[in-house]
Amino acid sequence: MCGSNDYLGLSTDPRVTAAAAEAASQYGAGCTGSRLLNGNLDLHEELERELADFFGKEAALLLTTGYQANLGAIGGLCGPADTVYVDKEAHASLIDAARLSRAKLQWFHHNDTEDLAAKLAQHSGPGGKLVAVDGVYSMEGDLCPLPELLDVCDRFDATLLLDDAHGAGVLAAGRGTAEHFGLTDRVPLITLTFSKAFGSIGGVVLGDEDVVEYLRHHSRSLLFSASASPANTAAALASLRIVRDEPWRCEAVLKKADHMRSELLALGYRTGEPGTPVVSLDTQDEIHTLLGWRRLMDTGVYVNAVLPPAASPRLRTSYTAVQTEEQLDRALAGFALARDVLGPVLTRGA
Ligand code: PMP
């Protein structure tokens, strides 16, 4: 399995599954209502307090998925008078959130802060400006240039929203991309999901107390959707405590991903930068992406085939803290074999 987002191996950790089972027995299988009505549990609030504490923000708002966290944050804060500036490679949920908010959607080139500044400079009118980026880009595995983004936001009086779905639980001993850059205090809004490193399901908006309290009453994806199930909430809480207590997991996944990155490079694959759990292999065109995926599958290696519009053609590989050396060696043997299919695109233009 070289395509899972279970970066720390927590979805099957016995402490996490036991917490889920216990919560299901204690509270039931579902909450049958939204947080603001009958669906609020002490468990949700306990998780919010521990999240805010761990990630170093004043407050946290728990939603049912990461997708809904982005809809809730952007939809709750932005309206028709505002503009949302979205990185070209940002996650679909940020784009959908901007569209649903009815704000003006303005693209900027991926990780290009000069282009962002140029777009912000053209802004006129009284509306607000929100810049939405991923911390770790889910398909490419590269980091956003957070210090430069914050500087541009300051210059143009824009607010930054950082979706840290793939950085939280992994970078900076689990505290994520903002902390990796030592800039948590300067990032006003961070969204997270539990569907990656935390091995569960759930979404979070982190920010200042007053903003989070406002969103509690204005996020339609929170108000009009049932709250996270007791099992998923308890699993996320158990995972959060493991992340806090066992930072070796974060180091292990990054070490394994970087090892795979350099071995794949040595095999002739074109990979991105080190330092994240995602190692994306540039496969140039759609046919080679699919042929390579099939060949790898036939050798017993699962990766994710990525095609437009998700991103440019690539094989997205990702690693976990609990993979053994033997498993990674087996995977590398598969990647070596798949060069018979992928050879032409690996050498083209290299
Ligand atoms: N943001 C990013 C960057 C993601 O990769 C994902 C999941 N693919 C989400 C948000 C949505 O998270 P969830 O699965 O919890 O809805």
Q: What is the pLDDT of residue 345?
A: 85
H-run or E-run covering 16 = helix 14-27
With cut-offs at 50, 70 and 90, classify the pLDDT of residue 310: confident
Span from the CA of 116 to the centroid of ligand 1 (angstroms): 23
C-alpha 297/C-alpha 292 separation (Å) is 8
Task: Please tell me the predicted confidence (pLDDT) of residue 344.
Answer: 85
Interval 303-332 mean pLDDT: 96
Which ligand 1 atom sits nearest the alpha carbon of residue 68? 16
The 10s digit of each residue's pLDDT in 219-263 is 999 999 999 999 999 999 999 999 999 999 999 999 999 999 999
CA of 193 to the centre of ligand 1 (A): 6
Alpha-carbon gap, residue 167 to 162, rounded angstroms: 10
277-297 mean pLDDT: 96
pLDDT 10s digits, 140-157: 999 999 999 999 999 999
Instruction: Tell how far the Cα of 165 is from the centroid of ligand 1, in angstroms.
Output: 6
pLDDT the model gives residue 349 = 47
Instruction: Supply the residue whose CA is at minimum distance from atom 13 of ligand 1.
Output: 66
Cβ 34 vs Cβ 350: under 8 Å: no
Residue 264 CA to ligand 1 center (angstroms) comes to 26
Residue-wise burial string across 297-331, b where 16 or more C-beta atoms lie within 10 A, e elsewhere: eeeebebbbbeeebbbbbbbbbbbbbbeeebbeeb
Question: 315 alpha carbon to ligand 1 midpoint, in Å?
Answer: 18
- Centre of ligand 1 to C-alpha 7, Å, is 14
* Model pLDDT, residue 343: 87
| Token code pair at residue 247 | 């930072």
Helix H segments across 82-229? Answer: 92-101, 113-121, 146-155, 177-180, 209-218, 220-223
The per-residue pLDDT of the chain, averaged, comes to: 96
Per-residue confidence (pLDDT) for residue 154, from 0 to 100 = 98
- How confident is the model over 160-216, as pLDDT tens digits? 999 999 999 999 999 999 999 999 999 999 999 999 999 999 999 999 999 999 999
Strand partners, 304: 316
Residue 311 has pLDDT above 90, yes or no: no
Task: Give the Cα separation of 36 and 71 in Å (integer).
Answer: 17
| pLDDT at site 348 | 57
- Identify the residue with better confidence: 30 or 348: 30
The single residue listed with the structure tokens 């992994």 is 170
Taking domain 14-245, whether its CATH number is 3.30.565.10 is answered by: no
Do the two domains 14-245 and 248-342 of this chain adopt the same fold? no
Mutate to test the pocket of ligand 1, among 4, 91, 163, 205 (most ligand atoms within 8 A of CB): 91
Best mutation site among 74, 190, 195 for ligand 1 pocket (most ligand atoms within 8 Å of CB): 195
At 242, list the tokens: 């493991």
Residue 186 exposed, middle or buried by CB count within 10 Å (0-12, 13-18, 19+): middle
What pLDDT shows up at residue 350? 45
Taking the CA of residue 164 as reference, the ligand 1 atom at the shortest distance is 3
**Lowest mean pLDDT: which of 58-62, 209-213, 338-342?**
338-342
Whether the pLDDT of residue 290 is over 70: the answer is yes
Q: Residue 252 contacts by C-beta under 8 Å, 6 or more apart in sequence?
A: 321, 322
How confident is the model over 313-338, as a mean pLDDT?
Answer: 97
Cα 176 from Cα 182, distance rounded (Å): 10
Q: Does domain 248-342 have CATH number 3.90.1150.10?
A: yes
268: alpha, beta or left? (left if phi > 0; alpha if psi -120 to 50): left
Q: In this prediction, what percent of the chain has a pLDDT beyond 90?
A: 95
What confidence category does residue 58 fall into, taking pLDDT thresholds of 50, 70 and 90?
Answer: very high
Give the residue extent of every domain in the chain: 14-245, 248-342
Q: What are phi and psi for residue 160, nearest 5 degrees?
A: -100, 135
Residues flanking ligand 1, CB < 6 Å: 65-67, 91, 93, 134, 138, 163, 165-166, 193, 195, 203
Cα–Cα distance between 29 and 187 in angstroms, integer?
Answer: 36
| 202 Cα–ligand 1 center, Å | 10
The whole-number pLDDT of residue 278 equals 97
Nearest to 61 by CA among 230, 218, 238, 229: 218
